[in-house]
Amino acid sequence: MERTSPVTVLLIMLLVHTPADAQSFGKAAWIRQVWTTDSVGSMDIAVGSGEEVFLTGTLSHRMDVYFEASPSDADLMDTPLFFSGFLARYDGRDGSLVLVRSGWDRHGPEFPIRSYRYGRSVAVIGDRLFHHESSGLQRDTVSDMVTVRDLEGSKLERIGPHERTAAYPTMGINGTEFDTRGNLYMVGTFGEPLHFSPDMVLTPSRVAIWSHPPNVIFLASYAPNGTLRWAQQIGNDSMSLVRGSFDLPGKAAFDVDPDGNTVLGLGFRGQWGPPDAFSTAVDGSALAWYSRDGTLLRVQTLEDLAISYEPSLTELRDNPVRAGESSIMGASNFILYPIIVRHDNNGNLYVVWRKDSAKDRSNSVTVSDTTFYPGENRYLYVLTKFDAQGALLWGQHLEHDHSMTPKGIETTEHGHAYLYGDFYGRYLILGGVELTQEEPRFYGGFVAHFDGDGHLVRALHATGPGVQSVKTLALGPDGDVYVVGHNYRADAVVIGADTVHAKGANNVFVAKYPAAPRSSTH
């Protein structure tokens, strides 16, 4: 049987399929709040096989913070230092609070940490919790680490590289993922000699200075027992590890498939161009694939992926003023970048692309032979899906009238995808379904559930006065959806079919929604 080409598949999807109204997520099984009088920073959530739900994040000041333990009870968390990270665990079955603790941790000989100030991300693998944390800017401290904990939150060990004598931390972990064998893969950037073990030290090609430190990418892997498997530098500091926005630490365009093959979304600065190993990436960005032992397998350029954009990098280099910039470096801001990458269990890859508008707004992104334009908004966002060999399956425009911030994608065992994030303005169109807001100055959060063919199954909208956002999302062992959002200085937030009345000036909500009906998952 002759295989249908990706171009034909894309045309069939765009021309024949008419999406129905999105199914509602319905009422949440439970919702719990966290509230304080000051702000809450970046957050992440993870769910274990026994529905152990872990939440981590950051508190910006030494203020009282309350965690709702049940609809009629709350726990006050001790916050000994400002900029304090926290870790909380819920029972996913009924939403009861099992534990909550702040980020105070006495230092040990290997990792001299006085406290961690940021809770970056969490992952549950078997009976262990991998907690990505970050310390404050203190001399002789590690800037980032992964703490391995038991399911009661107690520290077992710490793994990851560290700097020895940096006057200020230059190392940051931008992503941690796992393969089915339990091996940990870690990606990040560094500017000082980075110590993984006595025999493995990575050294940047030039000396760090405060005004312009190197931003060199490292990729490393650890065995399930915490032993370093391998570590290496990726390229040089003329290339960057792409992430969605500056407020998403630990959320780089990075993922690992079930076999341990790694994909990175990379960008190349217009002034210097890509390093030799990535010389084919003449369009300014690429996907780079590494095997489970760290060997570079292939580099897929935009041309390889059947994607192009205008104005092209060549045009921007030749005429940076067209982009509203006076330098080649400034013009490189308008390259098309892959900001989110995520595999499903079959090795297919979902990618969200972002392109900023040039000065004259004559921007476009072409996927196969379908071209998308920015319309009213400044940024162009496109969601695509590729098979395991990198062949294009489909693509669609994430259309909006002002701005949006896609924050992540999670995939199900059936090959569905949950895209989540925020938008600002009057509307956001997902899979042909429009989410609207009465006041264009409001921020809203969203979750979009797509099937494997790119059709919208259901959508969730967090809306109301002020700033409403969806921070992060995780899928439970039975397909349940755990959504974390933020309600900033508003009396209430409407989350789908629920209205949550705020208990403080800054409210975080954690909500559990059931999996989609079986008829919607195939």
Mark 452-462 as b/e (b = at least 16 C-beta within 10 Å). Answer: bebbbbbbbbb
More confident of the two residues 249 and 53: 53
What pLDDT, on the 0 to 100 scale, is given for residue 30?
Answer: 97
- The dihedrals phi and psi of 359, each to the nearest 5 degrees, come to -60, -40
pLDDT, mean of residues 482-510? 90
What pLDDT, on the 0 to 100 scale, is given for residue 82?
Answer: 53
* pLDDT exceeds 90 at position 81: no
What pLDDT, on the 0 to 100 scale, is given for residue 304?
Answer: 95
- Cα(472)–Cα(487) distance, rounded to whole angstroms? 14
What is the per-residue pLDDT across 278-298, written as a single tens digit (0 to 9) for each?
888 888 899 999 999 999 999
Q: What letter would DSSP give residue 243?
A: B
Partners of 420 in beta bridges:
408, 447
- Cα(327)–Cα(345) distance, rounded to whole angstroms? 43
Please provide the DSSP assignment of 104-122 as one string. B----SSS--SBEEEEEEE
pTM of the complete model: 0.90
What pLDDT, on the 0 to 100 scale, is given for residue 64?
Answer: 78
Task: Evaluate the CA torsion angle 150, 155, 156, 161 in order and state its sign.
Answer: positive
Asked if residues 69 and 100 have their Cβ atoms less than 8 Å apart, the reply is no
Bridge-based pairing state of the strands 239-241 and 337-343: unpaired
**Using 50, 70 and 90 to split pLDDT, how confident is the model at 89?**
very high
Of 118, 105, 148, the residue nearest 251 (C-alpha)? 118
Domains of the chain: 6-105+134-516 (2.130.10)
pLDDT, mean of residues 354-374? 83
**Using 50, 70 and 90 to split pLDDT, how confident is the model at 113?**
very low
**Using 50, 70 and 90 to split pLDDT, how confident is the model at 138?**
very low
* pLDDT exceeds 60 at position 136: no
More confident of the two residues 15 and 194: 194
What pLDDT, on the 0 to 100 scale, is given for residue 377?
Answer: 67
- Cα(384)–Cα(149) distance, rounded to whole angstroms? 36
What is the per-residue pLDDT across 6-49, written as a single tens digit (0 to 9) for each?
443 333 333 333 444 455 799 999 999 998 877 777 789 999 99
What is the per-residue pLDDT across 309-361, written as a single tens digit (0 to 9) for each?
988 887 777 765 655 554 555 667 788 999 999 999 999 999 999 998 765 55
What pLDDT, on the 0 to 100 scale, is given for residue 172?
Answer: 86
What pLDDT, on the 0 to 100 scale, is given for residue 315?
Answer: 79
**Using 50, 70 and 90 to split pLDDT, how confident is the model at 250?**
confident
More confident of the two residues 449 and 465: 449
What pLDDT, on the 0 to 100 scale, is given for residue 7?
Answer: 40
More confident of the two residues 112 and 502: 502
What is the per-residue pLDDT across 161-174, written as a single tens digit (0 to 9) for each?
987 765 566 788 99
Average predicted confidence (pLDDT) for the chain = 83
* % of the chain beyond a pLDDT of 90: 49
Asked if residues 343 and 368 have their Cβ atoms less than 8 Å apart, the reply is no
In this structure, what token pair is assigned to residue 165?
A: 């004598």
More confident of the two residues 206 and 301: 301
* pLDDT exceeds 60 at position 370: yes
What is the per-residue pLDDT across 427-464, written as a single tens digit (0 to 9) for each?
999 988 999 888 777 889 999 999 999 999 999 999 98
In this structure, what token pair is assigned to residue 366?
A: 């072409």
- Cα(90)–Cα(33) distance, rounded to whole angstroms? 12
